[in-house]
DNA sequence: TGTACATCAGTGAACGCGCGTTCACTGATGTAC
DNA sequence: TGTACATCAGTGAACGCGCGTTCACTGATGTAC
């Protein structure tokens, strides 16, 4: 991290961003609950009172990062879906992107899913979830016959990717020279298996 | 929780268990990081120094519960596997049992997976993971052609169940009158889809 | 361009809090004779 | 069965710690004239 020299009393310029960056580093180093406002201030070379000019309180900083997580995820998943016209390919690309995002942006991922943020206190988090669903539903509808089935397909694929991401993070994928490649492969495989399953059911009915 | 009346200075009798129970309640009420030794002592009506007669430190208490989690999981999964002879049925029963365990024993599940216990400091936790793999591998080998494929099948099924369990816990399964039933159904469905996928691959080769 | 002033992002000291851990101790329990 | 004693699960006081939050303040920056 670049430490800008700064005379005492001078304005920082971009403290909000610097604090968020420090928070991400802390979570990356220490896990979902490794963030403290105090340590973030130390790293930003700023007094402990300074953050309150930018955030209402400790949790507001985390919530801001959680929102960033959902925004970044949305961008990545949009990209994944845009990479092909094939609905099955889009879903499996989504699954792989999910695992990749969790691996590459561990800290953001941890904050959004494991930091124990109160969703009632931060309603913007719930909205973000809705946006993700709206992104995926049209894709799933090209495979599943109705909204209910389509939603279940999305949930199954996303949950599977989520589980693989967590297992990957916790080193539960067993000994493997490239654990991430394995996780991504399994995510894709599971997504395709689910799509096939839904198609078979549709054909059977 | 039953509060036993006890004169001050008297021996408690079963403090170890009482503290573990209090810890579980705390985690159930407040989430994976809601446990503090201090609050557990308060609930057990015992001084803050008392736990150190039974546990080396705070984390040792959590580790003890994590071990209990793995033991209980093992028992449940054994039962699930014993419920049928059919390998596909065994795997899907395992997946359902995984989701059910997470739902019914939320606190144990949280402690084992989200409390951030240091696995190097508590090697017994890693052993427990191995035991689970040993339980499932023979089942998977009846479907997959080799150890590697079998292990991947297990991981895919378990990870999917894990993700569904987490989504269920966090209320991400969407509006549903019986979210648990939906999670279990999806876990079973995913497991069967994976089995079919592996079989198709085997037939194709 | 120079000056007066409002704004606002910082400081640093202070507060209260709950936490985990330690220590010497005490009194109940179980055991040996 | 009764007594002497070792054991051991508790107590309560104390320690140091880092945390989040507040407050009055200060000095740099940007703006109006």
Is the alpha carbon torsion for A133, A138, A141, A143 positive or negative? negative
**Which residues in chain B are contacts of A163 at CB distance < 8 A?**
158-164, 166
d(Cα A83, Cα A160) in Å, to the nearest integer? 21
d(Cα B160, Cα B185) in Å, to the nearest integer? 12
Asked if the Cβ of residue A48 lies within 7 A of any atom of strand C, the reply is: yes
d(Cα A178, Cα A181) in Å, to the nearest integer? 5
Q: Which of residues 106-165 of B touch strand D (CB under 7 A)?
A: none
Could you tell me if A120 and A205 are in contact, meaning their C-beta atoms sit under 8 angstroms apart?
A: no
Residue B37 makes CB contacts below 8 A (sequence gap 6+) with B48, B51, B58, B61
Res. A75 pLDDT band, cuts 50 70 90: very high
Task: Single out the residue of A72, A74, A70, A66 nearest to residue A23, CA to CA.
Answer: A66
Instruction: Please give the C-alpha separations between residue B82 and each of B43, B76, B91, B94, B136, in angstroms, as whole numbers.
Output: 39, 10, 11, 10, 12
Q: How does B99-131 read in b/e, with b if 16+ C-beta sit within 10 Å?
A: bbbbbebbbbbbbbbbbbbeeeebeebeebbee
Asked if the Cβ of residue B58 lies within 7 A of any atom of strand D, the reply is: no
Give the nearest nucleotide to B9, CA to C1'.
Answer: D10
Asked if the Cβ of residue B3 lies within 7 A of any atom of strand C, the reply is: no
**B98 φ, ψ to 5°?**
-60, -50
**Which residues in chain A are contacts of B155 at CB distance < 8 A?**
164, 167, 172-174, 186
Is the alpha carbon torsion for A129, A131, A132, A136 positive or negative? positive
Q: What is the pLDDT of residue B205?
A: 61
Nearest to B190 among A162, A172, A190 (CB): A190
DSSP A120: T
Residue A150 makes CB contacts below 8 A (sequence gap 6+) with A137, A140, A141, A143, A144
Asked if the Cβ of residue A12 lies within 7 A of any atom of strand C, the reply is: yes
**Which residues in chain A are contacts of B158 at CB distance < 8 A?**
163, 167
Q: What is the pLDDT of residues B74-125, one digit of tens each?
A: 999 999 999 999 999 999 999 999 999 999 999 999 999 999 888 888 888 8
Nearest to B162 among A114, A167, A197 (CB): A167
**Which residues in chain A are contacts of B133 at CB distance < 8 A?**
174
d(Cα A135, Cα A119) in Å, to the nearest integer? 21
Instruction: Decide: helix, strand or coil at residue B146.
Output: coil
Provide the whole-model pTM. Answer: 0.93
Average pLDDT over residues B60-80: 97
Average pLDDT over residues B159-185: 95
Listed in sequence order, the DSSP H helices in chain A are 15-30, 37-44, 58-82, 87-104, 106-114, 123-141, 147-169, 179-204
Q: What is the pLDDT of residues A7-44, one digit of tens each?
A: 444 567 799 999 999 999 999 999 999 999 999 999 99
Inter-chain touch B194–A192, beta carbons under 8 Å:
no
d(Cα A118, Cα A149) in Å, to the nearest integer? 30
Q: Is B46 left (phi over 0), alpha (psi -120 to 50) or beta?
A: beta
Residue from A70, A131, A193, A196 to probe the interface with B (highest B Cβ count within 10 Å): A193
Res. B190 pLDDT band, cuts 50 70 90: very high
Report chain A's mean pLDDT, rounded to a whole number.
92
Q: Strand C: which nucleotides have any atom within 7 A of a protein Cβ?
A: 8-14, 18-24, 26-29
Model confidence at A3: pLDDT above 80: no
Q: What is the pLDDT of residue B5?
A: 39
Res. A5 pLDDT band, cuts 50 70 90: very low
Question: Residue B164 CA to nucleotide D11 C1', Å?
Answer: 46
Res. B51 pLDDT band, cuts 50 70 90: very high
d(Cα A48, Cα A33) in Å, to the nearest integer? 19
Distance from CA of A44 to the nearest CA of B (A): 26
Q: What is the pLDDT of residue A11?
A: 66
**Which residues in chain B are contacts of A112 at CB distance < 8 A?**
none
Res. B11 pLDDT band, cuts 50 70 90: low
Question: Residue A6 CA to nucleotide C7 C1', Å?
Answer: 21
Q: What is the pLDDT of residue B4?
A: 36
Q: What is the pLDDT of residues A81-127, one digit of tens each?
A: 999 999 999 999 999 999 999 999 999 999 999 998 888 888 888 88
Inter-chain touch B186–A155, beta carbons under 8 Å:
yes
Three state DSSP letters for B102-136 = HHHCHHHHHHHHHCCCCCCCCHHHHHHHHHHHHHH
Q: What are the tokens at A27? A: 């979570």
Half-sphere exposure of A140 (CA within 13 A, CB side): 24
Inter-chain touch A155–B172, beta carbons under 8 Å:
yes
């Amino acid at each position: 991290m670049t430490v800008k020299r700064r005379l005492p009393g001078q304005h920082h310029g971009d403290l909000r961003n610097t604090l968020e960056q420090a928070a991400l580093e802390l979570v990356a180093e220490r896990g979902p609950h490794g963030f403290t406002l105090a340590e973030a201030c130390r790293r930003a070379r700023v007094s402990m009172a300074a953050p309150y000019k930018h955030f209402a309180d400790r949790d507001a900083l985390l919530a801001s990062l959680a929102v960033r997580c959902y925004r970044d995820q949305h961008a990545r998943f949009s990209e994944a879906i845009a990479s092909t016209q094939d609905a099955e390919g889009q879903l499996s690309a989504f699954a792989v992107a999910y695992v990749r995002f969790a691996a590459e942006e561990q800290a953001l991922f941890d904050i959004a899913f494991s930091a124990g943020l109160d969703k009632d206190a931060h309603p913007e988090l719930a909205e973000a979830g809705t946006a993700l669903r709206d992104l995926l539903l049209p894709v799933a509808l090209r495979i599943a016959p109705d909204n209910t089935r389509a939603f279940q397909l999305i949930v199954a694929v996303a949950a599977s990717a989520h589980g693989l991401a967590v297992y990957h993070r916790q080193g539960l994928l067993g000994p493997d020279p490239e654990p991430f490649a394995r996780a991504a492969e399994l995510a894709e495989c599971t997504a395709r298996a689910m799509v096939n399953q839904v198609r078979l059911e549709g054909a059977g009915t």
